[in-house]
Amino acid sequence: MNENFDCTQFVTFTYSESPTAQDIIASFEKQGFTLIEKNFIRKAKIIFFSDYIENKFYELKNDNFMGEFEDWVEKDNPPNTIIEFIQTLKEWMYKINVSHFKVFLTSYAELNGNTSCRAIKTPYDSLLNELFKMSNYYYGKHYDNMIIDILL
């Protein structure tokens, strides 16, 4: 059976200081995300990304967030929502002292289907450039899913 999902985001990380659920939830709820812990995430999503998941895995549910990439015309002029997302990631990464941190962006994914994934490693300072590759206005190769391992 082919299961699919779309328009969602995930974060996964390994940490040296355990974050409280409230710290994590509050950071992203301010931006309209609902944080879903791994044991409540649909199994198809976990299976699809199983090769990339660290010891903590959360879905950042916000059906409208991927739409921000559709409206992102110029790389140097990102929507405020994306700027705030990047700032929240940075704040959060340092707050909980992570040793590995990945962001997953999903336009469309299908188990046993023909969806494309791009897994990259990038320093935090280049995150904006990598995120722009999910924009409809990026002229390079497009992928359905992007897994960004942020180098710390």
Query: Per residue in 139-150, pLDDT tens?
Result: 999 999 999 999
Query: In this structure, are residues 152 and 99 in contact, taking their beta carbons and an 8 Å threshold?
Result: yes
Give CA–CA dist 4/124, Å, rounded: 30
Query: Per residue in 109-133, pLDDT tens?
Result: 999 888 999 999 999 999 999 999 9
Average model confidence (pLDDT) across the chain: 89
Query: Per residue in 57-83, pLDDT tens?
Result: 999 999 999 999 998 999 999 999 999
Q: DSSP class of residue 111?
A: T
Give CA–CA dist 21/109, Å, rounded: 27
Model confidence at 22, pLDDT cuts 50, 70, 90, reads: low
